[in-house]
Amino acid sequence: MLFIFVFAFIFLVDIYSFKGIKLLTSGFESTLLKNSIHILYWVIPVLIISTLLYFRTLQPFDRDPRIFRNFFLLAGFFILFYIPKLTFITFHLTEDIVHLGKWIISKFTQPEVSDSVLATSGISRARFLTQLGLILAAIPFTSILYGMTKGRFNFRITNEKLSFSNLPEAFDGFKVIQISDIHIGSFLGHENQVKKAVELVNEQNPDLILFTGDLVNNFAEELNGWIPILSNLKAKYGKFSILGNHDYGDYFDWANKAEKEQNLTNLKQAHKDLGFRLLLNESEEIELNNSKIGLIGVENWGLPSFPQYGNLKVAMNGSDELPFNILMSHDPSHWDAEVIEKTDIDLTLSGHTHGMQFGIEIGNVKWSPVKYKYPRWGGLYKENNQYLYVNRGFGYIGFPGRVGMPPEITVIELKKT
């Protein structure tokens, strides 16, 4: 049904877009140029449909990470061309509605013919809005193209200083680096960009590195060849991690239950091979100069239809006596559901949303479509004396790009008040 919907969408959008293209090229004197533009226009939809049909023959997908990488690339090209086309046909449709209205009026009246401002400028009414649509379509096209070629690798350092009265004195100035949602299978072929990101993390001289889930898209073997690169992450007092919703393999049709369980076992071993202590509904103590703080890690807990493997009550065992606690929970909706006003956890670190890999963050303006699903989708949130930080993600999935929502490395400095 999904493929049928996509084909229908492509057909309807391209038929109507082509109508606008024919209008804009109708005045061309060169028949060769006009026909070349018309043929070139149809090359993209034909290639996309052909490739979709090819992927359809591969279902159920092989576990080769290259197949998913290529499928994401196809999704990127689809978005690259069809978001601008939707912009274009919006203006062309407006033009048609205007002409339809004029035609209806002409059936009942005989208006005087007069030149308009547009006509005197040499641009006919029949083409002005369609031309404007073509020009404005270049904005999303350029933005998406940049997001696919550069934006997804433009790692941003976000710095936060958070003050707490109950933080032990020894931890004043303690630097925590949070990374989240690596989705390493999506980076296949881009090893140098990941190496640079690892170097960028190490340059921050972290005391602690916390990874808040989604190491892979689906399969443990996505990490083949990546262990030497990601294991170079360095922190003075350790590296800790949790699982995200993608890490459990829930989005793949496994041959049997044993195969799925083995995949998860292999992924847990990969965390160990990377030098991370994987917290599975459990807690650890971080000790510095005879003072301690707690680090709590839960398995994925999400609102339906996301699975709820996390058990916060079990994970907090042993942390009650500590003066300060940090929770790692992949899905930020967990904070509202079970953390604030129900626990004394001081700082929660989450990811999951990716900021939808699209948004606007300029000054105090912060917006992404994902806010309508996750009100706490990116950045810092505070309720009373409890904090939540939602990392916008290290990697990407589905759309191989980031538009206005660069990949994030979060640096949190803990301060004693």
pLDDT digits (tens, 9 = 90+) for 129-175: 999 999 999 999 999 999 999 999 999 999 999 999 999 999 999 99
pLDDT at 14 over 70: yes
> Which pLDDT belongs to residue 3?
82
pLDDT at 288 over 90: yes
Percentage of the residues of the chain whose pLDDT score is greater than 70: 95
Tens digits of per-residue pLDDT, 371-382?
Answer: 999 999 999 999
Report the b/e string of 288-323 with b at 16+ CB within 10 A.
Answer: beeebbbbbbbbbbbeeebeebbbbeebbeebeebb
| Section 208-215 average pLDDT | 98
**Level-2 CATH architecture, domain 157-416:** 4-Layer Sandwich (3.60)
Phi, psi of 231 (to 5 degrees): -70, -10
Q: At what angle do helices 65-106 and 125-149 cross, to 10 degrees?
A: 170
Tens digits of per-residue pLDDT, 302-341?
Answer: 998 888 999 999 999 989 899 999 999 999 999 999 999 9
Q: Which residues contact 353 (CB under 8 A, 6 or more apart)?
A: 332, 368, 370, 373, 374, 377, 378, 390, 392, 393
Q: Quick check: pTM over 0.85?
A: yes
pLDDT at 212 over 90: yes
Q: Tell me the pairing of strands 208-211 and 291-297.
A: unpaired
Q: Decide: 332 and 352 in contact? Cβ < 8 Å.
A: yes
> Which pLDDT belongs to residue 118?
42
- Going by C-alpha positions, the residue among 166, 281, 182 that lies closest to residue 226 is 182
> Which pLDDT belongs to residue 261?
97
Q: Decide: 396 and 403 in contact? Cβ < 8 Å.
A: no
Q: Where in the chain is the domain with CATH 3.60.21.10?
A: 157-416
In three-state secondary structure terms, 172 is: coil
Tell me how far CA of residue 377 lies from CA of 66, 350, 384, in angstroms.
30, 9, 19
State the pLDDT confidence band at 103, using cuts at 50, 70 and 90.
confident
Q: At what angle do helices 2-25 and 31-57 cross, to 10 degrees?
A: 170
